[in-house]
Structure 1
Amino acid sequence: MTLTKSQEKGCVLWYDSTALPQGEPRLFDLAWLRENGHLAGSSTGRNQAWFLRYNGLELVWRHFWRGGLVGRVNRDLYLRRPAAQSRAMEEFMLLDWMREQGLPVPRPIMARYQPAGLFYRADLITERIPQSRTLAEVLRDAPLSAAVWGQIGQVIAQMHVAGVDHTDLNCRNILLDEAGKVWLIDFDKCARRRPGGWQAENLSRLHRSLVKEQGKVAGLHWSPQDWQALQAGYDAEVSAVSGKPEQADGYGKV
Structure 2
Amino acid sequence: MATPSDLGLNGTVIRFDTSILTPMEPNLFDAAWLKENQFWRGSTQGRSSAHFLNYADRDMVLRHFHRGGLIGRVNRDLYLRTSAEKSRAMLEFDLLSEMRHEGLPVPRPVAARFVPTGAFYRADIITERIPNAEPLQDVLKTKSLSKQLWIDIGAAIKNLHAHKVYHSDLNCRNIMIDTHDKVWFIDFDKCEKRETGDWMQANIDRLHRSLKKTAAASNGLNWNDEDWEHLLEGYAGPAAN
TM over 0.5: same fold? yes
Deviations, residues 111-163 of structure 1 (Å, cap 9, x unaligned): 00000000000000000001110000000011001100000011101100000
In 2, the alpha carbon distance for the partners of 1:19 and 1:197 equals: 38
Moved over 4 A (4+): none
Deviations, residues 3-38 of structure 1 (Å, cap 9, x unaligned): 111101100000000011111111111221111101
Number of corresponding residues? 240
Following superposition, the deviation at residue 233 of structure 1 comes to: 0.5
Following superposition, the deviation at residue 218 of structure 1 comes to: 1.1
User: Counterpart in 2 of 1:245?
Assistant: none
In 1, the alpha carbon distance for the partners of 2:176 and 2:41 equals: 19
* Aligned residue type for 2:87: S
In 2, the alpha carbon distance for the partners of 1:19 and 1:59 equals: 11
In 2, the alpha carbon distance for the partners of 1:30 and 1:196 equals: 40
The reply to whether residue 38 of structure 1 matches residue 39 of structure 2 is: yes
The reply to whether residue 193 of structure 1 matches residue 224 of structure 2 is: no
Alignment of structure 1 residues 100-179 onto 2, 5 Å = 100-179=101-180
The reply to whether residue 15 of structure 1 matches residue 16 of structure 2 is: yes
User: Counterpart in 2 of 1:244?
Assistant: none
User: Counterpart in 1 of 2:53?
Assistant: 52
Q: TM-score by structure 2 length? A: 0.98
User: Counterpart in 1 of 2:67?
Assistant: 66
User: Counterpart in 1 of 2:238?
Assistant: 237
* Aligned residue type for 1:177: D
In 1, the alpha carbon distance for the partners of 2:29 and 2:151 equals: 38
Give me the identity figure in percent: 51
Following superposition, the deviation at residue 192 of structure 1 comes to: 0.2
The reply to whether residue 81 of structure 1 matches residue 82 of structure 2 is: yes
The answer on whether the counterparts of 2:31 and 2:51 sit within 8 Å (CA) in structure 1 is no
Deviations, residues 69-99 of structure 1 (Å, cap 9, x unaligned): 0000000000000000000000000000001
Gaps of 5+ in 1: 242-254
The answer on whether the counterparts of 2:114 and 2:122 sit within 8 Å (CA) in structure 1 is yes
SS at match of 2:237: helix
In 2, the alpha carbon distance for the partners of 1:92 and 1:109 equals: 8
In 1, the alpha carbon distance for the partners of 2:6 and 2:183 equals: 31
* Aligned residue type for 1:4: S
The reply to whether residue 98 of structure 1 matches residue 99 of structure 2 is: yes
User: Counterpart in 2 of 1:221?
Assistant: 222
SS at match of 1:111: strand
Instruction: Please report the RMSD computed on the Cα atoms of aligned residues, expressed in angstroms.
Output: 0.9
The answer on whether the counterparts of 2:135 and 2:173 sit within 8 Å (CA) in structure 1 is yes
Q: TM-score by structure 1 length? A: 0.93
In 1, the alpha carbon distance for the partners of 2:114 and 2:220 equals: 43
* Aligned residue type for 2:232: Q
